[in-house]
Structure 1
């Protein structure tokens, strides 16, 4: 299956625009004020844990004839809903309605103090958002941390998920059980305060892109770094520390056998992402983040799973090789 020429042209145009708009010195507000999203931003206002919260999201209609399906795109920890811009273009071009939220604590959504972050809570927030938009069933696509959230969502709301897609998800292994030492939220917070454009780029270049870098990646680094450079850096850093603790202490891998939803695993084989590996003993760190092996283990553990391996790609295949990734994604969605 080849992507339609008009979609490819739009995708290539966005690559050029993203490169031109990248600004390593950008400074954004705590809810990413000043950053331009690819589609109009809407807000879901709700109450959770006694707090009034605002969840930012994009709701994008099909570009042509609708196929009657809705795709929900769940971003990773070092990503935002905006990072899905090319995927949104491709899916709406194929007839999907697309919902792309920013989770509470991330990007353009509320950064609450004293909030207990959990995957169950984020799943409940997402479910409430979809209900407010009249969506009862959807294809749920999660990348990185969003893959952990998507798996939890499918476990908690199986009747609401017609197909589950996990793109290089975190949580294919239990890092704590593997021997990675625990770090307190205070320790994580101090580390987050040292975050900069250069530190984000270095981490992503090493773990996400197999040591390679392209100018169009700078926009996504600037998107994150700008919040640390802006006036809300302390609450941004705190929420990031809290959600790092959530990722580390709430594994979903042990429940893969309970996922009843048809599941598509899209795994970039060059990925070596393993949260906490930097504080683990060398012999422990060396065996973590082996995504080719982890992907096969996950496919064997999830009852109705299909594994698509992308051996030459890393943690963000939708950014690194959009044409190859989206062809694989559309094939997998069509085979439902």
Structure 2
């Protein structure tokens, strides 16, 4: 698995693992690096089956498997304790890690995530799946920004969107991989296990998210024993990109309030 480690490298630096959404690649977090590198050891990675971690995924791929392979990759690099900042799918990975490796996960920030899949979100995923299966990769990629960004932001960033579209088509993760990752995401349900996630959790959403209703954020926070809920007014599903300054400020405030003890040196 491709990992990138930036920021502080001293033994006292807390580690933050940044986990992307369905796209899966480390580049999603570029708007957060300057804000986080000064105080943390920051780990970004390309999820298995995407980007520079490209390989075929098993037919029975699951959220538990996604979490386990990340936990293993971090352990191989001597990273035993860490916090997780995750967007959508990446946030669910953080929750799964908190369940399966509670001694290793210090805290989790879930960005536009959910406790269980909302019917509206399921419909959106089914539309995207139909585009991929019945129209093609180009249509799937072209529709993606509609679910990520507010309309006015898209109108003001057409050259950027064109560059992203070309890159996503050129480096597409593959139909089977995407469908297996999407199925793992849609099947994830933390309803019966939320009470076991006792680490501090930030549940942060954008109220104008087209993909995930912001009520999902409140439902998630209410189900967790130690969660803080924040709702941004604007930014869409990818508000960490469209309003990076506002998002980064809220994230850093939460991290500072839930600071962890210094880590032991990596072996």
Report TM bin, short chain: 0.7 to 0.9
2:201 match: 263
Q: Does 1:122 align with 2:45?
A: no
Q: Does 1:242 align with 2:180?
A: yes
Deviation by residue 1:145-202 (Cα, 9 ceiling, x = unmatched): 1111111111111111111111112x4433479986x97xx978624x7021x64243
Distance 1:221 1:257, change over 3 A: farther
2:149 match: 209
Note the aligned Cα RMSD (angstroms): 2.8
Question: Within 2, Cα distance between the matches of 1:217 and 1:177?
Answer: 25
Question: Within 2, Cα distance between the matches of 1:309 and 1:128?
Answer: 33
Give the aligned length: 252
2:207–2:231: 8 Å Cα contact kept in structure 1?
yes
Distance 1:106 1:311, change over 3 A: same
1:79–1:220: 8 Å Cα contact kept in structure 2?
no
Q: Does 1:327 align with 2:249?
A: yes
Question: Within 1, Cα distance between the matches of 2:149 and 2:121?
Answer: 24
1:189–1:241: 8 Å Cα contact kept in structure 2?
no
2:17–2:85: 8 Å Cα contact kept in structure 1?
yes
Q: Does 1:290 align with 2:213?
A: yes
Question: Within 2, Cα distance between the matches of 1:120 and 1:114?
Answer: 13
2:122–2:186: 8 Å Cα contact kept in structure 1?
no
Question: Within 1, Cα distance between the matches of 2:234 and 2:130?
Answer: 35
Larger Rg: 1
Distance 1:139 1:315, change over 3 A: same
Select the residue among 75, 82, 92 that pairs with 2:20: 75
Q: Does 1:104 align with 2:45?
A: no
1:11 match: none
Q: Does 1:89 align with 2:34?
A: yes
Instruction: Give the 3-state SS of the residue equivalent to 1:299 in structure 2.
Output: helix
TM-score by length of 2: 0.84
Select the residue among 108, 113, 116 that pairs with 1:173: 116
Distance 1:56 1:209, change over 3 A: same
Question: Within 1, Cα distance between the matches of 2:193 and 2:72?
Answer: 23
Deviation at 1:79, TM superposition (A): 4.4
Question: Within 1, Cα distance between the matches of 2:58 and 2:148?
Answer: 31
Question: Within 2, Cα distance between the matches of 1:224 and 1:117?
Answer: 22
Instruction: Give the 3-state SS of the residue equivalent to 2:237 in structure 1.
Output: coil
Question: Within 2, Cα distance between the matches of 1:75 and 1:125?
Answer: 15
Distance 1:226 1:159, change over 3 A: same
Question: Within 2, Cα distance between the matches of 1:242 and 1:178?
Answer: 17
Question: Within 2, Cα distance between the matches of 1:177 and 1:294?
Answer: 11
Distance 1:179 1:219, change over 3 A: closer
Deviation at 1:309, TM superposition (A): 1.1
Question: Within 2, Cα distance between the matches of 1:316 and 1:133?
Answer: 29
2:131–2:140: 8 Å Cα contact kept in structure 1?
no
Question: Within 1, Cα distance between the matches of 2:13 and 2:229?
Answer: 25
Deviation at 1:331, TM superposition (A): 0.5
Deviation at 1:98, TM superposition (A): 0.8
Question: Within 2, Cα distance between the matches of 1:245 and 1:261?
Answer: 27
Deviation at 1:220, TM superposition (A): 3.6
Q: Mind listing any 5+ residue stretches in structure 2 that lack a counterpart?
A: 259-267
Instruction: Give the 3-state SS of the residue equivalent to 2:230 in structure 1.
Output: strand
Q: Mind listing any 5+ residue stretches in structure 1 that lack a counterpart?
A: 1-54, 229-234, 274-288
Distance 1:167 1:117, change over 3 A: same
Question: Within 2, Cα distance between the matches of 1:177 and 1:84?
Answer: 26
Deviation at 1:219, TM superposition (A): 4.0
